[in-house]
Copies of this chain bind each other. A is one copy, B any other.
Amino acid sequence: MKRHVLIYGLIGGILISVLKWTEYRFLVIEHSFEIYGGLIAATFAVLGIWLGLKLTGTRQRVIVKQVSVVKGVSVPASETFVPDERKREDLGITRREFEILELIAQGLSNREIAGKLYVSENTVKTHSSRVFDKLGAKRRTQAVQLGKEFGLLP
C-alpha cells in the first residue's frame, strides 16, 4: 500500500518537473494549457484507476457451517445435512420447486430432470423459473449458490 502511494507521488513529481522544464526550455506557453491539462488529466485518471484497483483487496465473507457431534465424534455436515425447511417456506418455495433446485445443484440439465421426474421439460422450466425468482437468482448456478447460502443446499 505504502509503496503504491510512494510511486504515485513520485510520478506526480516527475510530471511536474517535466512540465516545468518544458515550460522554461521552449516557452511553449500559449495555448498549451489545454494540452498539458489534458495530459495531466489522462495520466492521473489512468494512475487513479490503477491505484483504485490496487487498493481494492478481496473482501471476504465468512459463512459458518455447523457440524453435528454424535457420541463425541464430529460428523461432517455433508453427511448430516438437513435442508432448512423453515427457510424454504419463508422464501415461499414449494416442495416440488425445491426438488428441482436440488437436481439443478447436482448438475442436471432441464431435460435430464424432466426425465427423472417423469414430467415435461416445460414443467421443469416453469418450476425452475419460479424458484429462481423466489431466490432472486438469474442463473441456475446463482440459484445453487444462493440455495447454499440460505441453508437449503449442502
Contact = CB atoms under 8 A, between A and B. Distances in A.
B64 A61 contact: no
A16 B37 contact: yes
Interface string A90-104: 000000000000001
A108 B50 CA distance: 24
A58 to B, nearest CB: 5
A146 B107 CA distance: 8
B64 A65 contact: yes
- Copies of this protein chain in the complex: 2
Interface majority SS on A: helix, strand, loop or mixed?
helix
A3 to B, nearest CB: 10
A12 interface: yes
A63 interface: yes
A59 B60 contact: yes
Interface of A: 1, 4, 12, 15-16, 19, 23, 33-34, 36-37, 40-53, 55-70, 74, 76-77, 104-109, 137-146
A50 B70 CA distance: 48
Contact of A141 (B12, B45, B57, B105): B105
Contacts of A138: 109
Contact of A56 (B53, B137, B141): B53
A37 B4 CA distance: 21
A146 B62 CA distance: 12
Contact of A144 (B34, B49, B63, B107): B107
